[in-house]
Chain A
Amino acid sequence: AQSVTQPDIHITVSEGASLELRCNYSYGATPYLFWYVQSPGQGLQLLLKYFSGDTLVQGIKGFEAEFKRSQSSFNLRKPSVHWSDAAEYFCAVGRIYGGATNKLIFGTGTLLAVQP
């Protein structure tokens, strides 16, 4: 069965510190992987995505993620966290039909708090 696991429900980091959010997936075919961010009461914004090619992908807001097939992981990283990064982060795996993204399966999310 397809699934996405985010082991950390809640993470607190100090402003300026580095960040890594974990994501593991289970998928029967080549995964298409996404990271989204959700601010309180808001919809989701795409941070980055991996479809193929270079396993280290760069996203918006200084985020990057690395796809590791051997570990079935797609961890999100940022070298220096800003207070505005406090939000909930969702990892998702999707399927591609005819070149278009289809259903997404989301992880349970990781809530990031940033200390001054």
Chain B
Amino acid sequence: DQQVKQNSPSLSVQEGRISILNCDYTNSMFDYFLWYKKYPAEGPTFLISISSIKDKNEDGRFTVFLNKSAKHLSLHIVPSQPGDSAVYFCAASAFSGNTGKLIFGQGTTLQVKP
């Protein structure tokens, strides 16, 4: 049972436009969410996170929005650049035990065309 779902396997956008990557979760105990970016033949790297006490967190071109009632989060990249082409994973964490256990989604491959 997939607790964190990224229903779009791939997304293609034009350079300079907005990229919107979506993520849904089912476990209401999740209260901390992260996005990781992964280039081919490399490990994932942390991009941005959001706690459930917020509904938005911004870092430069990257903004994450959280809609707790819909159990949905999204990552906006504005403007998109060719170097943003990568696989993006959302991940979630529940408070219990306050451990580093993360549940990842399946990933969305973003292609930004010049």
- Tell whether A and B belong to one assembly: no
Measuring CB to CB, which residues of chain B are less than 8 angstroms from any residue of chain A? none
Interface residue ranges, A against B (CB under 8 Å): none
